[in-house]
Amino acid sequence: MEEVQESQTQSIDQDQNEVITESSAFVKGEPPQESNPPKVDSEVEILHEKVTKQIIKEGHGQKPMKYSTCFFHYRAWTESTQHKFEDTWEEQRPIEMVLGKEKKEMTGLAIGVANMKAGERALLRVGWVLGYGEEGSFSFPNVPPMADLIYEVELIGFDETKEGKARSDMTVEERIGAADRRKMDGNDLFKEEKLEEAMQQYEMAIAYMGDDFMFQLFGKYRDMALSVKNPCHLNMAACLIKLNRFDEAIGQCSIVLSEDENNVKALFRRGKAKAALGQTDGAREDFLKARKYAPEDKAIAKELRLLAEQDKALYQKQKEIYKGIFGPRPEPKPKQSNLLILIWQWLLSIFHRLIVLFKRERQKSD
């Protein structure tokens, strides 16, 4: 059973095998849903006679070389009508392209991607000659003839390989091996407190283990793939918790729990994220289930103890509040009477007694 660790270095799966790594980068992010191309004020960069670029968000690192396998999202519009004809963010699946081996209609898009850095988001304008051409496309996507194009593109990541081998051309072992190298690179970056860079490597590994790929696997190959994929999701969650991105951390842990409902690390880290969001009941449920499979784990016991202390403090606070609301009613203070009224009342009482005495004496004399 995996032991849940509290320290930074121990919370990441360790792998001491020496592996030669390829240079890569990967980032995550989705721009707001837009029906029209975004307005960009940055400087226009001419990449080609028919291709220009404006940066929306800066990237980092190097630009991909020829035959690099690039992963990116994009939205596409026809410039004349502003009609959006494609949006890969809606499908939640990035496009994979080997630079230099792209389809003819993506020539202009490929020129733009080749001039972007990992994590960069840009607005590209592509002339129809480097797009869908003189005839356009009447199937999917539907693009009219001689239509100039506008792309909003985010380069998610890329792998530099000499042979330009796409994931679909790799064997199962090659894809799992490539993902495992990304995972180990991420672990090294995590130890150096480079959390964003570490997440980029984990995301790259997860991209190699896409749903379409996992769906085809069974038996030992599926187990091999999960032994790489699940730790990447868990390590992503560890990074996200440190960055206070708790909702995203919960999502990463839930992906693992959908495959392995008793995974102690996933339960523990999801519990920590829920506790940070104030979801104490859900956090306690996760911690108790984790303790069932790791009863001696001190980190789990500590988190349950913290929840119990928070509940006690909250109870005391509520008790004080309710005491003030429902406590005994204070005794009303007597009103101070006017002195003149009291004197007048006293004189009337004396006068009344004198009259009574006078009547009695008169009755006796009669």
Specify the pLDDT at position 201. 84
What number of other Cβ atoms are within 10 A of residue 304's Cβ?
Answer: 17
Specify the pLDDT at position 1. 39
Which DSSP symbol is given to 11? T
Condensed to tens digits (0 to 9), the pLDDT of residues 227-246 reads 999 999 999 999 999 999 99
Token pair 């121990």 is at which residue?
10
Specify the pLDDT at position 211. 74
Domains of the chain with CATH codes: 24-159 (3.10.50.40), 167-310 (1.25.40.10)
| Nearest-angstrom CA–CA distance, 269 and 135 | 54
The three-state secondary structure class of 46 is strand
Whether 267 contacts 289, CB under 8 Å: yes
| Nearest-angstrom CA–CA distance, 43 and 238 | 38
What number of other Cβ atoms are within 10 A of residue 137's Cβ?
Answer: 16
Specify the pLDDT at position 247. 94
| Nearest-angstrom CA–CA distance, 31 and 261 | 32
The three-state secondary structure class of 25 is strand
Specify the pLDDT at position 344. 74
Whether 114 contacts 106, CB under 8 Å: no
Which is it for strands 84-87 and 121-126: parallel, antiparallel or unpaired? unpaired
Specify the pLDDT at position 33. 59
Region of residue 177 (phi > 0: left; psi between -120 and 50: alpha; otherwise: beta): alpha
Low-confidence residues in the chain, pLDDT < 70? 1-34, 92, 161-166, 322-338, 364-366
Alpha-carbon 224 to chain mean position = 27
User: Which of 114, 120, 117, 116 has its CA nearest to residue 100?
Assistant: 114
Token pair 């999801």 is at which residue?
270
Q: Hey, CA dihedral for 317, 318, 319, 325, is it positive or negative?
A: positive
Specify the pLDDT at position 164. 54
Specify the pLDDT at position 320. 73
Residue 69's φ and ψ, nearest 5 degrees, are -90, 115
Which DSSP symbol is given to 81? T
Q: What pTM, to 2 d.p., does this model score?
A: 0.62
